[in-house]
Amino acid sequence: MLAAGVGRRLGAEAAGGTPRPKILLDVGGRSLLRRHLALLEQAGVARLTIVVGHGAPQVRAALAETVTGLDVSTVENPDYREGSVVSLWTVRDMLRCTAPILLMDADVLYDRHMLERLVRSMHADCLLLDRNIEPGDEPVKLCVREGAIVDFRKIPTEPHDWHGESVGFFRFSPDAACELADRVESYVAAGRRSMEYEEPIRDMIQASNPHRFGFEDISALPWTEIDFPEDVTKAHALLPELAA
């Protein structure tokens, strides 16, 4: 789980008046962190590693105060002000653990069924896609042509039939996770530390056969990524749906 960023676009006021990490954002009386832990445990996940950076002591303190059945650890990215590819690079050895991997953004409020769809998907290598995408360059697009993923980027370049928004949750087979670790290492070794972590995933998708990577359409499920103050408002508005 990637939780190292500063969250500049959210601002201290929207985050509760203090420049704390977004993973500690309170939504309906529970932090995103507590919600993640509960949902991951419910989905059958046994081990969680959180990449921390900005506000790392606060995240560790919150974990120390939280009772969970998960085996939770943290890895610190001291260069968290650089691109998120560096955060993924800090856990490259864990990507090589020869087990299936879930990779997740921490700043997402979501329905529990999204994790279930990801964990139980028939696709060993799987992304989540929402067709209800807002216009503009901000959402990361998952682009599909003839049923196969052909591009994965905020501003796509490949021709495609349609696209949806990536949720920022991924499931990788052991082979794909190892390949991703190699690609992330290549990015950092080449000095491409300002890039976002989606870029090496895009490279891997485009270098593979067309149907190696699949997707689950979760358009009917409530969720939101929290980047801007208006996303906090949206998150609170989703609580009745999530409770139901």
pTM given for the model: 0.94
How far apart, in whole angstroms, are the C-alpha atoms of residue 71 and residue 106?
17
- What would the pLDDT profile of 205-241 be if each residue is shown by its tens digit? 999 998 999 999 999 999 999 998 999 999 999 999 9
Looking at residue 18, its pLDDT comes to 54
Domain region containing 65:
2-243
Pick the closest to residue 91 from 22, 5, 185 (CA basis): 185
Neighbours of 135 (CB within 10 A): 6
- What would the pLDDT profile of 50-79 be if each residue is shown by its tens digit? 999 999 999 999 999 999 999 999 999 999
| Buried/exposed 103-117: b ≥16 CB within 10 Å, e otherwise | bbbbbbbbbeebbbb
CATH of the domain at 103: 3.90.550.10
Q: What is the mean pLDDT of the chain?
A: 94
Looking at residue 17, its pLDDT comes to 53
The tally of domains found in the chain comes to 1
What the block records as the tokens of 238 is 């989703």
> pLDDT band for position 243 (50/70/90)?
confident
